[in-house]
Structure 1
Amino acid sequence: MEMIADFEKTELGRIEIAPEVIEVITGLAAAEVDGVAHMSGGFVGDIAERLGRKNLAKGVKVEVGQKEAAVDVFLIVEYGYKIPEVARKIQENVQNAIENMTGLKVVEVNVHIVDVEFKSEKKTEPEEQPHRVR
């Protein structure tokens, strides 16, 4: 069952924020952090992307209540970055983005590092030796 946050009622009606909105905000905020190579959507998410569907909520799970949200982020870090620092920056960025955009209080941002990506160095071709004319 999908829960929709019904966190505010005004004289004109209710304001509802779907969990998918929180997922997209989380995914974008996490991807902004230096050192994040990719979000990890698992097998199904990766197939969907190969079929041309851009999934901005890839690698994100959320639980949304009336006034609070908890999120789990699954991602791949670039080799060479300090994982604890990257994870803390993700937690801060995600919390700030969700709280500023939705007004929900973020009670947890759990960061799951599932892999490390090694950047392959470009193979440099040996410089061509000029041909001498004799």
Structure 2
Amino acid sequence: MKFQTEYGEVEITVNALRKLTYLAVMETYGPISIGSDNWFSKWFSSEEGKIKVEEDEYGHINIDIFVEVEYGTKVTEVGRNIEENVRHKLQYLANCENVDVNVHIIGVK
């Protein structure tokens, strides 16, 4: 993702967006761990690597987050809070305006 500032052009990589997303999820109340939708990723990648970040040719960013939430929390509220926190962090820190955040609750612990 590239954007222009008064000082020049700034490029933010997909890995940087993934790290910002991970930090935003961990700051939110409710999620215990970040999981994945397939068994291979569960065993062989870090939690941060289990967040899917894709950018299309128009600069639109799609983020899929797979989380396990804490028992006793409202699942819909946790999902909504994660979505809002990720969207806010990416807009504030990375100047991302076109972001779709999809939160998938894969378990309760």
Fold agreement, TM-score > 0.5: yes
Q: CA–CA distance in 1 between the matches of 2:98 and 2:88? A: 9
SS for the counterpart of 1:70 is strand
| 1:7 pairs with one of 3, 19, 25 | 3
Match of 1:21 in 2: 16
Q: CA–CA distance in 1 between the matches of 2:28 and 2:84? A: 10
Q: Deviations over 1:55-79 (max 9, x none)?
A: 3523311122554422111111111
SS for the counterpart of 2:41 is helix
Q: Which structure has greater helix proportion?
A: 2
TM-score normalised by structure 1 residue count: 0.68
Q: 4+ runs of 1 displaced by more than 4 Å?
A: 9-12
Deviates more, 1:91-100 or 1:14-23: 14-23
TM-score normalised by structure 2 residue count: 0.82
Q: CA–CA distance in 2 between the matches of 1:45 and 1:8? A: 35
Match of 2:42 in 1: 46
* Distance change >3 Å, CA 86–CA 16, structure 1 → 2: same
Higher radius of gyration, 1 or 2: 1
1:1-134 aligned within 5 A:
5-8=1-4, 12=8, 14-41=9-36, 42-48=38-44, 55=46, 57-65=48-56, 67-117=59-109
SS for the counterpart of 2:105 is strand
* Distance change >3 Å, CA 31–CA 58, structure 1 → 2: farther
SS for the counterpart of 1:75 is strand
Which structure exhibits the higher relative contact order, with contacts defined as CA atoms closer than 8 Å and separated by 6 or more residues?
2
Q: CA RMSD in A?
A: 2.2
Tell me, which stretches of 5 or more residues in structure 1 are unaligned? 50-54, 118-134
